[in-house]
Amino acid sequence: GRPTHSSVVLNVRADADLELYVEYGRDPVTNYETQTSPVLVPAGQPVEVPITGLAADASYTYRVEYRTPGTGAYQPTEEQTFHTQRAPGSPFTFAVQGDSHPERERNMFSAELYARTLRAAAAEHPDFYITSGDDFSVDTLRSWTANTVAERYTLQLPYLGIVGRTAPLFLVNGNHEQAARYLLDGTPDNVAVWAQNARNRYFPQPAPDGFYSGNSEVVPHIGLLRDYYAWEWGDALFVVIDPYWSSPVAVDNVFGDDSQRTRNLWDVTHGDAQYEWLKRTLEGSRAKWKFVFAHHVNGT
């Protein structure tokens, strides 16, 4: 995740305690001239490994070397690749999906077809991969806790890892994620906090940092939301927007009781801050192409 002109972030999770480092080199790689410092990855706990000091508009090959902590030689994973920010005028490929709903196996989801789709996308060697919402739906859970909500995000790891090993992932919030402002109650124990924290924990998303612009609001019990953001790549501007964290009322389905949906759609809003940021971002970009991603066109 979070690729720039000189860096990328690897999010690693394992079922057992591991010690690991990442080694990488410019393509075509003949040897891995650079490696990260070793880190400990506790069982089941995702750890971010930043890879920095990279060349712009360059393809890299990498692999993870891992071992049980304190044991002998490291073992390598398969080689994977990634690409840093393309220069203006450089062609590239990106890919998009939406509404994968892996929790709906009975009526609209096939694990076999989803995995086949992701393998097909990975075979196109996209520079990045965008999911446009309802990929981590929590509405159909029988009980809601931090752990059960997080399981909606870990459910996607074996799937999105198929393409995410080589194509950084950018996520768009959907209505069924219920990562929404109207659910905040001042405590850390509500589904909106659980959902957004799980999203940012398992999938490294951008925050404003000089390369990415976006939401600078710090939300209690979450921190930076990383929900709307923008970046340039080659001749294109990419923008992700999110109506759910800006609206004080439910934008679409109401969590737990859809009968409480607002009848006055003027109450639904993208928020002044996001609107002004979007306006500045679009007007200030000289990119030839401008792509804006949202789960629903009008947020409802």
H-helix or E-strand spanning residue 151: helix 146-154
pLDDT band at 70 (very low <50, low <70, confident <90, very high): confident
| pLDDT mean over 197-202 | 97
pLDDT at 300: 62
| Percentage of the residues of the chain whose pLDDT score is greater than 90 | 87
pLDDT tens for each residue of 137-161: 998 898 999 999 999 999 999 999 9
Q: Specify which of 22-31, 49-58, 106-115, 249-258 reaches the highest per-range mean pLDDT.
A: 49-58
pLDDT band at 299 (very low <50, low <70, confident <90, very high): low
- pLDDT higher than threshold 60 for residue 111: yes
Q: Nearest CA to 86 among 115, 117, 58, 54?
A: 58
CB atoms within 10 A of CB 155: 15
pLDDT tens for each residue of 267-277: 999 999 999 99
**Which is higher by pLDDT, 90 or 299?**
90
Q: What is the mean pLDDT of the chain?
A: 94
φ and ψ at residue 80, rounded to 5 degrees? -135, 170
Cα 12-13-17 angle, rounded to 5 deg: 115
- For residue 114, what are its two tokens? 């989803």
Residue 28, preceding peptide bond in cis (omega within 30° of 0): yes
pLDDT tens for each residue of 18-36: 999 999 999 888 788 899 9
| pLDDT mean over 187-202 | 97
Pairing of β 229-233 and β 289-293: unpaired
| pLDDT mean over 274-281 | 98
Burial bucket for residue 296 (CB in 10 Å: 0-12, 13-18, 19+): middle
Is 97 within 8 Å of 136 (Cβ atoms)?
Answer: no
Spatial distance between the Cα atoms of 206 and 232, rounded to a whole number of angstroms: 13
97: left (phi over 0), alpha (psi -120 to 50) or beta: beta
| pLDDT mean over 76-104 | 95
Residue 228 DSSP label: S
- pLDDT higher than threshold 60 for residue 130: yes
